[in-house]
Structure 1
Amino acid sequence: MLMCDYIVESIDGDYAHLRRTDVPDEELKLVARALLPFDIVEGSKLHYEMMQYTIID
């Protein structure tokens, strides 16, 4: 099961571009904003586990 952290690099309409913190050279992941917490902004840190994203401080 995949568990990792992401940083929101940019928000483009209904999608957000996420960068993994443990593999910074990996290609950005494009995720629909409907799958992400409502109050994300560029620079938000997210934790992904069990097909859910949560904001971390």
Structure 2
Amino acid sequence: MGPYEYVVSRIDGDYAVLRRTDNDTHDEILVARALLPEEVDEGSKLLYEAFQYTLIS
């Protein structure tokens, strides 16, 4: 599973919309904010690997 790279395109209450950035499809997924790092904000870059999201610079 992965690794996959995402950017937070928007935050809507308890959910965040993530757009995939490591391929040309730019798929979007809806993820509960509880699964994301606490300091995540719109525009944050994330790495998803081993069922865990981490912030990347």
Q: TM-score under structure 1 normalisation?
A: 0.90
Paired amino acid for 2:15: Y
Q: Which amino acid in structure 1 is aligned with residue 47 of structure 2?
A: H
List structure 1 segments (4+ residues) > 6 angstroms apart after TM superposition: none
In the comparison of the two structures, how many residue pairs are matched?
57
Task: Give the structure-2-normalised TM-score.
Answer: 0.90
Q: Any stretches of 5+ residues in structure 1 without a counterpart?
A: none
Q: C-alpha root-mean-square deviation of aligned residues, in Å?
A: 1.2
Kindly provide the amino acid, as one letter, of the partner of residue 30 in structure 1. L
Alignment-mate amino acid for residue 10 of structure 2:
S
Aligned identity (percent) is 58
Instruction: Flag structure 2 segments of 5+ consecutive residues without an equivalent.
Output: none
- 1:52 aligns with 52
